Amino acid sequence: MAEAGRLATGVEIWPLVAYGPLMSELPDAESFGAAFVEFMRVMSLVAEERESEVAVRLRAHLGTDPKGLPTTGAEFPLAEHPNLQLALDAVLGDAELVGFTTPHVGFGSIGIAEILAGHGMTGPISRGPVRYVDVEVGDGRVVQCVESALLLAVYDEAPLALVLSRGGDHPMRPSSVRLEGVSPAAGAVSGLLRELRAAMREHNVFRGRIISLHQDEHGGSVGVQFHTVPTVTRTEVILPEGTLERLERHTLGITQSARRLRAAGRHLRRGVLLHGPPGTGKTLSTMYLLHAMAGRTTILLTGRGLGLIEQALGIGRDLAPATFVFEDIDLVAAERTMEFGSRGVLFELLNQMEGLAEDEDLLFVLTTNRPDLIEPALCRPPRPGRPSAGDPAPRRRRAAAAAGPVRGWHRDRRRLSQSARRALRRRQRRVRQGAGPPGLAASRA
């Protein structure tokens, strides 16, 4: 039996069983395994580990051992990357960027702990170039965004370090941008993150633009596309007498009277449902509204994007006044008793609309060819913020009805014809396959 002792480094060596060539018994597997694990632990402790150049630079900037400091992190959707970059430029414009690299770069995210350990998921971390990615934000404009780097800065008179990298639930398909910070000054990182979020709202590239959200086929990252919509004048919109005036009063009129309505304690969020057979002018009326209410942020949701309601409303709340356009809403908001209704998306839409503040100038424009399939709770006029609708207008007059109480809808959904059921199922299959119905989203920048 070997005697216990201590190495020069102070690491205690536990007694290990020494088996010579003349031993009469072989050790049992459990004893051997325990001895081997202890041997590896001791060798790891006494091994000389060299800090990576990136970790040395981090320690020197902070002026203290960062291993004893708490870290604070934040995660942003990948679609917000250009907004985060503009915020970093505005708040930390003089920050020093330190690049790093690792084998199979891009596989998994890297944070403060990995920088200090000098090792990531796929191998050692070493000094390397700062990685950038170009993100188009419409009208030919491109924002050069930092994809991964260590940022060394001084914030509120205290040294601070941030690690920026892409993250998400899947290491091969990043869906977010991750920031993790450390500073010897308590609260410095949290204060910086608050200022960055405020700067993101101020410099937001989506403000006043027409955008649509799309999710990749794996259900991971959410992308943003910028759109241009053809100009439609008021004289080009042919509706039954009084319909256009009702539509303008419910949309333009409330925005123009927003200050007086707020002072009176009235709500501003509202919605309209445009319905009728194809060719009755629903899309044309929507295009007219978008140009008549220029300067508002407009978010189009159609096809697979109809499942991104929470993300869309989050953007709209930050950038109010905003308009949400849900094309072919019957694909996800069918009456909840139908066996083919998309209940999850429907309930999410109802919950999100109820959770909006009443004094926010948010407008919902919903379109459908089949108003008889819409969930009644979505169009209940007494509840503020819910869209209201009228009877379908004659196709020959290219009209879309809007902004009135529900009348004359066929309420027994179980008696729908087989052909109507088949038609709705075909359209829902198109949504699941990512082929949204034609309409506003077809006009891309």
Q: Please tell me the predicted confidence (pLDDT) of residue 428.
A: 56
Residues 26 and 70 in one domain: no
More confident residue, 103 or 334: 103
β-strands 176-182, 71-77 pairing: antiparallel
Most confident of 6-10, 36-40, 394-398: 36-40
Q: Which amino acid is at 353?
A: M
On whether both 235 and 168 belong to a single domain, the answer is no
Same domain, 255 and 275: yes
Question: What pLDDT does 443 receive?
Answer: 45
pLDDT in tens, 68-110: 999 999 999 889 999 999 999 999 999 999 999 888 766 677 8
Q: Alpha helices, DSSP H only, in 221-308? A: 243-248, 254-256, 258-263, 282-292
How far apart, in whole angstroms, are the C-alpha atoms of residue 236 and residue 231? 10
Interacting residues of 29 by C-beta distance below 8 A, sequence separation 6+? none
Do the Cβ atoms of 368 and 275 come closer than 8 Å? yes
pLDDT for residue 276: 83
pLDDT (mean) for 376-401: 46
Q: Which domain covers residue 327, as residue numbers?
A: 210-442
State whether residue 17 is helix, strand or coil: coil
Q: Which of 164, 154, 216, 213 is nearest to 188 (CA)?
A: 154
* Predicted local distance difference test score (pLDDT) of residue 416: 46
Share of the chain above pLDDT 90, in %: 38
Query: Closest Cα partner for 271 from 395, 396, 364, 173?
Result: 364
**Percent helix, percent strand, percent coil in the chain, to nearest 5:** 35, 20, 40
Closest CA to 316 of 289, 301, 290, 297: 297
CB atoms within 10 A of CB 335: 19
Instruction: Tell me which H or E stretch contains 148.
Output: strand 142-155
Domain count within the chain: 3
pLDDT digits (tens, 9 = 90+) for 338-361: 444 445 566 667 776 766 666 788
Q: pLDDT: is 425 or 152 the higher one?
A: 152
Same domain, 297 and 414: yes
Question: pLDDT at position 9, please?
Answer: 46
Q: Which pLDDT does position 4 carry in this prediction? A: 45
Of the candidates 355, 289, 285, 282, the residue with the CA atom closest to the CA atom of residue 322: 289
Task: Indicate if 113 and 232 belong to the same structural domain.
Answer: no
**Is the domain of 58 the same as that of 187?**
yes
Q: How far is CA 217 from CA 214, 223, 304, 332, in A?
A: 9, 11, 9, 18
Lowest-pLDDT range of 95-109, 166-180, 276-290: 166-180
Amino acid at 66: P
The least confident of 176-190, 266-280, 338-352 is 338-352
Q: Are strands 210-215 and 222-227 parallel, antiparallel or unpaired?
A: antiparallel
In the predicted structure, residue 58 carries a pLDDT above the cut 90: yes
User: Quick check: 356 and 313 in contact, CB under 8 A?
Assistant: yes
So what's the pLDDT on residue 51?
Answer: 78
pLDDT higher than 90, residue 218: no
Alpha-carbon span 40 to 27, nearest angstrom: 18
Query: How does pLDDT run across 13-29, given as a tens digit for each residue?
Result: 445 444 445 455 666 78
Q: Determine how many CB atoms are found less than 10 A away from the CB of residue 293.
A: 18
As a whole number of angstroms, the distance between CA 215 and CA 75 comes to 18
What pLDDT is stored for residue 41 in this prediction? 81
DSSP H helices, 264-328, are: 282-292, 309-318
Query: Are 109 and 193 found together in one domain?
Result: yes
Per-residue pLDDT, 46: 62
pLDDT band at 129 (very low <50, low <70, confident <90, very high): very high
- Using left for φ > 0, alpha for ψ between -120 and 50, and beta otherwise, residue 260 falls in alpha
Mean pLDDT of the chain, nearest integer: 77
Q: Domain check: are 279 and 424 in the same one? A: yes
Considering 59-73, 220-234, 303-317, 374-388, the range whose residues carry the highest mean pLDDT is: 59-73
Answer yes or no: do 42 and 58 share one domain: no
User: Is residue 317 scored above 80 in pLDDT?
Assistant: yes
Of 202, 223, 255, the one marking the end of a domain is 202
pLDDT band at 288 (very low <50, low <70, confident <90, very high): very high
427-436 pLDDT, tens digit per residue, is 556 555 554 4
Overall average pLDDT of the 209-219 stretch: 80
Predicted confidence at residue 16, as pLDDT, reads 46
Say if residue 40 is in the same domain as residue 57: no
What distance separates the 2 farthest-apart alpha carbons in the chain? 108
Indicate if 238 and 314 belong to the same structural domain: yes
Q: Under 8 Å CB-to-CB from 310, ≥6 apart: which residues?
A: 348, 352
Do residues 32 and 157 both lie within one domain?
A: no
Rg of the chain on CA atoms, in Å: 30
Measured between alpha carbons, how far is 94 from 328 in angstroms, rounded to an integer? 48
- This prediction's pTM: 0.72
Tell me what pLDDT residue 309 has.
Answer: 80
